[in-house]
Amino acid sequence: MSRIHPTAIVDAQAELAADVQVGPYAVVGPHVRIGSGSSIGPHCVVEGHTSIGSENRIWQFCSIGAAPQDKKYAGEPTHLSIGDRNTIREFCTFNCGTVQDSGCTRVGDDNWIMAYVHLAHDVQLGSQCILANNATLAGHVQVGDWVIVGGLTGVHQFVKIGAHAMAGFQTALSQDVPPFMMVDGNPAKAHGFNVEGLRRRGFGPERIAQIKQMHRLLYRNGLTFEEAKAQIGDLRGQVEGGDLDVELMSGFLSASTRGIVR
């Protein structure tokens, strides 16, 4: 049965699965949908055109689905979409999208999002990510799967972070981070690749060695960006399963619009 605290305010038009929990003094707006097994903590506000999937746990004092912090926003019915099995800790703020982009801020599945994290309008966050306390993602930021963003890190508008990348504590990101790479500092600099994370995810020695080669081509061999991109493409067909990693890197580098952290 639905467990809604008597002090919570849930609009009659909101769509909540039968077993959703809503804590004391929480507010749920009319255009909200929440899937089975999810819980909304005390004093949370869930508003806007917001869709929350199954088995999410949203802790106390979060603001989910508020209007974008964008001066061009004129009240359009934009959206926030949250997948399944996400943990969203205290005081997080997730905003809806804008019509200048896709109109939807998206969060994937199985993310671990710590306290005070901000996801601005039109952020696209993948799955299996970890965002540590006070990580701040500005508008239009795109984050791939299995990314780790350290505490107090700020990510500039339109920056892309590739899958399996890692940004350390207090990093200032104003350029794109290629897949697999580790960066930190202000301004951010690349410091190797995420070898331990790849091992934990089942990447074998040959695939890891090829990713290490991609790191060398980008950062150690003195190549221009275009030269490095071409030589990374030439790695296709050399390692079993490695073409997926080459395609991921090549596609990311080709789509980069702000330049990469180098």
What pLDDT is recorded for position 226? Answer: 97
- Let me know if 184 is a catalytic residue: no
Q: Which of 109, 122, 145, 245 is catalytic?
A: 122
- At residue 53, what are phi and psi to the nearest 5 degrees? -75, -150
Could you report the per-residue pLDDT of 93-122, keeping only the tens digit for each? Answer: 999 999 999 999 999 999 999 999 999 999
Helices (H) and strands (E) in the chain, counts: 4, 28
**Residue 31 backbone zone (phi > 0: left; psi -120 to 50: alpha; other: beta):** alpha
- Let me know if 197 is a catalytic residue: no
Whether residue 126 contacts residue 143, with contact meaning beta carbons closer than 8 Å, is answered with: yes
Give the integer Cα–Cα distance in Å for 112 and 116.
13
Among candidates 33, 28, 75, 38, which has minimal Cα distance to 51?
Answer: 33
Give the integer Cα–Cα distance in Å for 160 and 147.
11
Could you report the per-residue pLDDT of 27-71, keeping only the tens digit for each? Answer: 999 999 999 999 999 999 999 999 999 999 999 999 999 999 999
Residue 3 CA to chain centroid, in angstroms? 30
Give the integer Cα–Cα distance in Å for 48 and 79.
7
Q: Which amino acid is at 94?
A: F
What pLDDT is recorded for position 88? Answer: 99
Q: Which of 48, 139, 144, 242 is catalytic?
A: 139
Which residues in the chain land under pLDDT 50? none
The secondary structure element, H or E, covering residue 252 is helix 242-255
Instruction: Measure the CA dihedral 8/13/17/19, to 10°.
Output: 30
Q: Which amino acid is at 251?
A: G
Q: Which of 121, 140, 164, 215 is catalytic?
A: 121
Give the integer Cα–Cα distance in Å for 240 and 212.
15
- Let me know if 122 is a catalytic residue: yes
